[in-house]
Structure 1
Amino acid sequence: MSGSTIQDIALRESRLTIANGIAEFSHQRPKARNAISTDLIEDYGELIDRIHADRSILGLIITGSGGSFCAGGDIGSMRDRQACTDPDIIGADFVRRRLDRAHRMLKQLRELDVPVIAAVDGPAYGAGFGLALQADFILASERASFCLSFARIGAVPDWGTAYTLPRIVGMARAKELVLTARRVDAKEALALGIALSVHPTDELSAQAHAMARRLAAGPREAFGLAKRMLNSSFETEYATLAALEGTAQAVCLSSDYHQRAVARFMQGEPSLYDWDHPANAE
C-alpha cells in the first residue's frame, strides 16, 4: 500500500481524497441532495482516469454529503428542459445521448480493478439508487433509504437499474420495487441483499474504510478479473466464461503478487491476504 501522504482534491461537484491506498469520492452538492448533474458525471470520469493511472489506489469508496447519498436526477433541470425552446435540448435524442454518456461512465466504474464500496447515508433515490448498485458492495447507515422513484415522474428506471437490480433481488421483487416506486429502508435493504451491512450513522465511514483497507491487501489483478467474470456471469454461456477463466488465470499466475504469495507459503510465512486473520498480512 502507499504511504501516508494525503491527496485532497476539489472537483466540480465532488471531493476526492486519497490516503493509504484508498480513494474516497464524495458528492458535494448537499443543498440539492447530491442530485446528478453533468458536472458530477465529469467528476466521475476524472476519478476513473486517476484510478486507472495510479496503481497505488487499491480501493474506492463512494459517498455523499449533508446526510444524502444521491437524490438521482435533478428535477429542476427537467423542468428547465420542458421550458426550453432549443430543439436540440427538447428532442428525445438529447435524453438518449445524455444517458449513453452516463452509461459509458458506469461501465468503466463497474469494471474498475479495485473493489468499489458505496457508503450510503440518507436517500439513494432514482438514478442515485442505480449508481449505488454499480458498486461491488453497499454499506448503509441506519437512516439510509432506497427508492426507484422513476414512476413518480412518469419515467422508467435508468442508470443500469434494470440490469443490476433483478440480479440482486430477483425479477418479481425488482418489478415490485419499480412499479410501486416505494421507499425501502436500511433494514429491508439488508434483508433483500441490496445492502451488505447496516451501521450506525456515525460509524458508517469508519466501517467503509475498514473494509476497503482489508480488501486493499488483496491482489489487484485477480480482483479486477474476478469482478469482470462475475459481472457477466448471468448472461454468458459456460464455454465463454471457461475461456475467460483460463485467460484470466494465466494473467494472475504470471503476476508478481502470485509469485510473492507462493514464496511466502513455501517458507511458512503468513499469507499476503488473509481476510480471516488480517493482522497476519503485511
Structure 2
Amino acid sequence: MNALTWDQREQIITLLAEATADPTLRAVVITATGKGFCAGADLRGAPAAAPAAAPAGGAGERVAGDVARMIRLGAQRLITSVLDCEKPVIAAVNGTAAGIGAHLAFACDLVIAAEPARFIEVFVRRGLVPDGAGAYLLPRLVGPQKAKELMFFGDALTAPEAERIGLVNRVVPAEELEATARAWAERLAQGPTRAIAMTKQLVNASLDTDRATALAAEATAQEINMTTADANEGVASFVERRTPEYRGC
C-alpha cells in the first residue's frame, strides 16, 4: 500500500527540488503503483523520521523536543516541498491515500482520483494528532467544520465524495487515471511556466495574508512576470492571432 519510508520521502523531496531548479521540467505528477497511493507513514518498518531526529538522550531514550523535531524534519518537510515547488504538481491518486498519504495529495495543485480511491484521516484511529500539515491544509480546502468531521472520526472518504466537497478536481475510471494525468501534465508543460509558478505562490499565500498584502504581492508578481519571454510571446500571439508557443522562461 506504499506506506512511506524515510528513503522514499527523501527521494520525493529531492525530485521536487530538482523540478524547481530544472527549466526543462515544467510539470510534475505524483502517483503510485499497486492498490494504494500511500497508506501513511511506514510504522512497521524504518521510521519516517530523519536521522537527525534520533533521540538525543542516548539509545532508546526520548527527550522533550524529539517528536516535534521528527515532525518538522519529516512530514512537514515533505508537504512544504510540494507547496513550494515552482512547477505545477498533480496528484494522480490510484487507491487509498491515508494519513500523510492523504496530505501529500491535498498539498498538490491539482488532484485526479481513480474511482476506487479513498481518502482517510487515519490519525485519530491510532490515537494521534494529525501531522504533515493536515490541520493547515484541510480547513483551507473544505472549511473548519468539515475538516473537524474528517479528522475527528477518521472515516474513509470515497473519491466521488472528495470531489463533491472540493478535495479532488476530477474522478475518472481507474484505467483512465494515467492518461488523464499525463494529458493534464502535458497541457501544463505547454503553458507559461513562470506565470503558473507565480500564480501558485499567490494562491497559496492568499489565505494567510490580508487584502493589502495580497494585492501588493499580485502587483509585484505581474511586474516580474512581464519581463519573461513567455509574457511577451503571449501578448504577441494575441496581437498576431496565433497560438502562443511558450518556452517556460
TM-score with structure 1 setting the length? 0.79
Shift of 1:187: 1.4
Shift of 1:53: 2.6
Aligned to 2:31: 63
Higher RCO (C-alpha 8 Å, min separation 6): 2
CA offset digits 1:194-253 (Å, max 9, x no partner): 111111111101100101111112111111111111111112011111111121111111
Residues 89/230 of structure 1: CA separation in 2 closer, same or farther (3 Å cut): farther
CA offset digits 1:131-152 (Å, max 9, x no partner): 1111011100011000001011
Shift of 1:123: 0.6
Residue correspondence of structure 1 range 71-110 to structure 2 within 5 A: 71-77=39-45, 86-87=58-59, 90-102=62-74, 103-110=76-83
Distance (Å, rounded) in 2 between the aligned partners of 1:226 and 1:87: 47
Residues 97/196 of structure 1: CA separation in 2 closer, same or farther (3 Å cut): same
**Is the CA contact 1:111–1:224 (under 8 Å) kept in the aligned structure 2?**
no
**2:231 paired with 1:265:** no
Aligned to 2:5: 37
Q: CA RMSD in A?
A: 2.1
Unmatched 5+ residue regions in structure 2?
A: 50-54
Matched to 1:37, the amino acid is T
Residues 244/132 of structure 1: CA separation in 2 closer, same or farther (3 Å cut): same
Residues 251/112 of structure 1: CA separation in 2 closer, same or farther (3 Å cut): same
Matched to 2:160, the amino acid is K
DSSP-derived class of the 1:173 partner = helix
**2:158 paired with 1:185:** yes
**2:218 paired with 1:245:** yes
Aligned to 2:116: 143
Distance (Å, rounded) in 2 between the aligned partners of 1:92 and 1:220: 44
Distance (Å, rounded) in 1 between the aligned partners of 2:58 and 2:5: 19
TM-score with structure 2 setting the length? 0.89
Residues 68/218 of structure 1: CA separation in 2 closer, same or farther (3 Å cut): same
**Is the CA contact 1:88–1:94 (under 8 Å) kept in the aligned structure 2?**
no
Aligned to 2:229: 256
**Is the CA contact 2:5–2:46 (under 8 Å) kept in the aligned structure 1?**
no
DSSP-derived class of the 1:69 partner = strand
Of residues 264-273 and 173-182 in structure 1, the stretch that sits farther from structure 2 once superposed is 264-273
Distance (Å, rounded) in 2 between the aligned partners of 1:178 and 1:87: 34
**Is the CA contact 1:51–1:57 (under 8 Å) kept in the aligned structure 2?**
yes
Shift of 1:91: 3.8
**Is the CA contact 1:129–1:148 (under 8 Å) kept in the aligned structure 2?**
yes
Count, aligned residues: 238
Distance (Å, rounded) in 2 between the aligned partners of 1:268 and 1:165: 42
**Is the CA contact 1:44–1:105 (under 8 Å) kept in the aligned structure 2?**
yes
Answer 1 or 2: which has greater strand percent: 1
Distance (Å, rounded) in 2 between the aligned partners of 1:223 and 1:40: 27
Residues 52/180 of structure 1: CA separation in 2 closer, same or farther (3 Å cut): same
